[in-house]
Amino acid sequence: MDEHTGGRGAVMGPQPDPGELIVGRGAELARLSRAVDSVSADPVLMLVGDMGTGKSALLEHAMHRAEAGGARVLRAQGSESESSLAFSALHQLLRPVAAEVDALPDRQRAALQDAFGEGPATPGPDLMLVGVAVLSLLSGLGDHHPVLVVLDDTQWFDRASLDALSFAARRLEGEPVTLLIGARDGDRLPPGFDRHVPVLTLGPLDRAAAHQLLDLQPKSPTGHTRSRILDQAGGNPLALLELTRTASAQDTAAGLPSAGPLPLTDHLERIFAARLKTLPASTMRALLLLAAMDSADPAIAVSAGLPRAEDAAWLPAGQAGLVRQTGRDIRFRHPLVRSAVYHAASLSAQREAHLALAETLRAEPDRRAWHLAAACPHPDAAVSAELERTAGRARRRGGHAAAAQALQRAAELAPQREDSARLLIEAAAAAVFTGDITWVEELVAAARTRTDDATLLASAAVQAGRLAVLTVRHTRVFSRLADAAETLTASQPAAGLDLLAGAAVVRFYSGDDTQRHRIQDIQRRLPEHPSHASMRTWVTAVSDPFDNRPHLVSLLPRLAAEAQDRPERLTTLGIMAWLLDETPQAVRAFDEAFDRWEVQGALPEGLGGAVAWAYLERGRWEQAREACARTTAVGRAAGLDHAVACAATVDATLLAFQGDASSARTRAEDALTLIDPLESRSVAVYAHRALGAAAAAEGAYETAYGQLRLVFTADGAPVHYHASYPALADLTAAAVRCGRHEEAALIVERSASALADNASPRLRALISRARGLLADPQEAEAHFRAALADPVLEHWPLERAQTLLDLAEWLRRRRRITEARGPLTEALATFRRLGARPWIERARTEARAAGLDATDTPPDALAGLSPQQQQIIRLAARGLTNREIGETLFLSPRTISSHLYRSFPKLGITTRSQLRDLIENTHTTTGRQE
């Protein structure tokens, strides 16, 4: 065999015998071989096919090939019964590397221990840190050998495990790690792996391959029997083998299932069930226990009281082709065998099996609770309470899907309808954090059929609305939230206001002005109450921040006092302050909230993008990128495209400011593909602003103007009531460079008139800058001076530096070169400190024309790095280790090391110890970062 090497390490050696007969899958085998041999550029590959198409056999082949080449192989196999146990699949995967888990950094090790329920009681694991721990572990294993991770039957993986594994999977580029995923076709693809993951689909075998497979059987069928087998199997490899086995055992085709509409799965289950009739009672009991347990983890099998692999009870089952021995454990040959065994048993036998398992699993309270539930033919308050406790444990470990499943089953077993309704609403509250709005709505609908209690029904509506706000279905969601809020205005005003708060967030995302009027109408009809004041302020600030802005700003100090020591309130305060262009106060609130809020929520908060925007505006670009990374990771894991799109627009804008125009365009275009621009005007506006900034960075001002013009309507009105206005100065700057003065002037003056006395100091400064750019030369200075007059504008360093540069250019052209040097020097220092490379170049050119020394300084060395490399360099200069930097930026230590290795030559240094001096010299020259 040829020897191959690649970016993820080399796996080589002779072709292994996978232990399974694989026919007709040459192309698929070649694709898998390239993956494990590291020829493929894709570190993740998903194998999708119907039941019985051979996914597990192909994955087994890949595992043997990798092991023969010296790779470390980790495998987890999903099981239906454990899909409701949080982190069970991840625990199974990492059990063989427990020693390596213990060697992880303290925070990462503790996060995994929390997730597995092994550590001390905590409020819950940081789910992002769990993902970082998995990534670090896999990367560390790759230091010694290439690593192959095989995830089979992922349709039965618990959601918490999938979230952690998908988080790591998206960051495997450059790592010696390959991830192969097996999933059943027809089911929804595993969350987190359903976008941008290469998929290899297993279809039916063609007629020639089907004949070949039959020819290779010990008793190859012939004649009419072969024709019937081929017709009924439909190219499914498992069906071909099992139908042949049945025909051979009976020496006749009479016992084959008749042709007809019976599904293939039912055909196969009947075939397997027919083999059970002659088995001894001890074998049947062992099989039923194995089927009821449904765990691929041998450690659980032993504790559950199953006969050991060498027990004689298994021999008849093995001879019948129902089970196989793998190491020291017994497994069904196929999930259909498990299903056939389980459903062939009587209800009383199934119940007895589950009760027996529950008795032996007293040390495993969560598994025990589910077996007790499976044994319940009728409602049972005690078992319902056990499941509710299981849900509590799952929730503390961050297993929101597992908690929701346990609560849903607890509701089914609750004897009292009111208890059932309460549990369903709690299930909906947990399911919110999975991002699965259909499930949430089903749970809420079920709760409504079980109760007339107004408080519970209001709570149900709030839970459904909480997640709906984060989806992309803004028009539909707004109507539903507003209707529910209107219905509850009299009977449940607090719940009605909560729903209206969600509707206000949807109004922000959509930018639909008719929604503002509806919100105002409903809010007028809500009764006043002192405890509702903060929420009312939120509704107004989010839905219409520039209507009576001075009054809203005057309320912020009181809200800040009420929010002390309450991170969720501080976050809300920060968002409102950002909306009102009180960015310094917003950043202070976010800083304090994050210092106190060690465990981040499992979903992005409504308007969570405000955090990244505030840090970007304030000039704290590293933290803006970190906020984007967290929102992206959480949004992708929960399947919330809108949250991912929001983060992408901030990221794109920042990349454009740093001069990486190509990456900025990619991120902005990604955002636009995730949303409907008519449904999500805010995201569309942010994306076009980013695309305009990217074009301006390259000097393509006509293109920049075209993108920024889309931020306003044809008649010059803002497309979005908040997101459009900050683009006024950038639009004008592009307009004057491509001869669009008159059109830009109309837009600027229309916006100034619309804002009037409600314009923030920031917006007044941007309007003044725009007027200065558009004014006749003799009138421009007054406008530029007005844009710089208020000291508070220093809190928007990029915007202030841009205005300083405009003033300096105007002064130099008026031959007032001495006066120009002051603002020019200040502008250049700010651009260098921020790493705004396009603006550095423009300011440097102007500085040389003004007779200033514009020699490169250390910041320009940093400016030669990518934005991510700049972040890594700054964190390394602060003394953080590669692992600590990886935790901060959600990257593996290997990726951090690679970036540092590539960055050092560009910076002219050779050791890590030189970084501090480099950064300190940068700050000495240009001033400290905001």
Q: Is residue 537 over pLDDT 70?
A: yes
H or E stretch including 498? helix 493-510
Residue 64's DSSP bridge partners are none
If phi > 0 it is left, if psi is from -120 to 50 it is alpha, else beta; for residue 175 that is beta
Positive or negative torsion for Cα 147, 153, 154, 158: negative
Site of tokens 């929520």: 601
- Strands 323-326, 329-332: pairing is antiparallel
Q: How far is CA 422 from CA 442, 451, 465, in A?
A: 14, 9, 17
Best-predicted range by mean pLDDT (208-217, 322-331, 409-418, 902-911)? 409-418
Candidate from 178-192, 413-427, 655-669 with smallest mean pLDDT: 178-192
Q: Could you tell me the two tokens for 362? A: 């007293």
- Quote the tokens at residue 61: 């082949």
Phi, psi of 827 (to 5 degrees): -65, -45
Average pLDDT in the 253-270 region? 56
Give the per-residue pLDDT at 927.
41
Side chain identity at 386, as an amino acid letter?
A: E
Per-residue pLDDT tens for 290-339?
Answer: 888 866 555 565 555 678 888 888 999 988 888 888 777 788 877 778 88
- String of DSSP letters for 729-785: HHHHHHHHTTT-HHHHHHHHHHHHHHHGGG--HHHHHHHHHHHHHHS-HHHHHHHHH
| Chain centroid, CA 180 distance in Å | 19
Two tokens, residue 849? 């024309």
pTM for this prediction: 0.76
Beta carbons within 8 Å of 344's beta carbon, 6+ residues apart: 273, 276
Half-sphere CA count of 901, side-chain side, radius 13 A: 6
Give the pLDDT of residue 254.
Answer: 41
How far is residue 782 CA from its own chain's centroid?
A: 48
Query: Which has more confidence, 99 or 222?
Result: 99
Structural domains in the chain, sorted by start? 26-202 (3.40.50.300), 207-274 (no CATH), 857-925 (1.10.10.10)
- State mean pLDDT over 259-276: 68
Q: Tell me the C-alpha distance between 51 and 328, whole Å.
A: 26
d(CA 903, CA 911): 11
Structure tokens at 911: 């050791």
pLDDT tens column, 561-582: 998 878 888 889 999 999 999 9
598 has pLDDT over 60: no
Task: Enumerate residues 6+ apart whose C-beta is below 8 A from 785.
Answer: 807
For the chain, the average pLDDT equals: 85
The percentage of the chain sitting over the pLDDT mark of 90, rounded to a whole number, equals: 43
Question: Between residues 118 and 411, which one has the greater pLDDT?
Answer: 411
Q: With 60 as the cut, is the pLDDT of residue 587 above it?
A: yes
SS3 194: coil
Question: For helices 661-674 and 681-697, what crossing angle results, to 10°?
Answer: 160
pLDDT at 278 over 80: yes
Q: Report the pLDDT value the prediction gives residue 298, as an integer from 0 to 100.
A: 56
- 540 band by pLDDT with thresholds 50, 70 and 90: very high
pLDDT at 733: 97
Q: Which residues pair with 45 in a beta bridge?
A: 180
Strand, helix or coil for residue 93: helix
What pLDDT digit, counting tens, does each position of 28-54 carry? 988 888 888 875 567 899 999 888 888
- Per-residue pLDDT of 761-806, as tens digits, reads 999 999 999 999 999 988 999 999 999 998 889 999 999 999 999 9
Helix (H) or strand (E) holding 474: helix 474-488
Rounded-to-integer distance, Cα 157 and Cα 150, Å: 13
Rounded Cα distance between 588 and 598, Å, is: 17
Per residue, what are the HEC states of 304-329? Answer: CCCCCCCCHHHHHHHHCCCEEEECCE
Which residue is it, tokens 């841009």?
802
Tokens of 930: 């905001």
- Lowest mean pLDDT of 504-513, 836-845, 863-872, name the range: 863-872
Predicted local distance difference test score (pLDDT) of residue 891: 81
Type of residue at 696:
A
Q: Is the pLDDT of residue 928 over 60?
A: no
Burial class (CB within 10 angstroms; exposed 0-12, middle 13-18, buried 19+) of 488 = buried
Task: Provide φ and ψ at 614, rounded to 5°.
Answer: -65, -45
Q: Which parts of 814-891 fold into alpha helices (H)?
A: 817-834, 837-849, 858-863, 867-877, 882-889
Looking at the chain, the whole-number percentage of residues with pLDDT higher than 70 is 89
d(CA 490, CA 484): 12
The predicted pLDDT at position 235 comes to 86
Identify the pLDDT of residue 768: 96
Is 549's pLDDT higher than 90?
yes
pLDDT category at 491 given cuts 50, 70, 90 is confident
Average pLDDT for 485-489: 89
Rounded mean pLDDT, 355-368: 89
Categorize the per-residue pLDDT at 512 as very low, low, confident or very high, splitting at 50, 70 and 90: very high
> Which residue's entry shows tokens 């069904």?
332
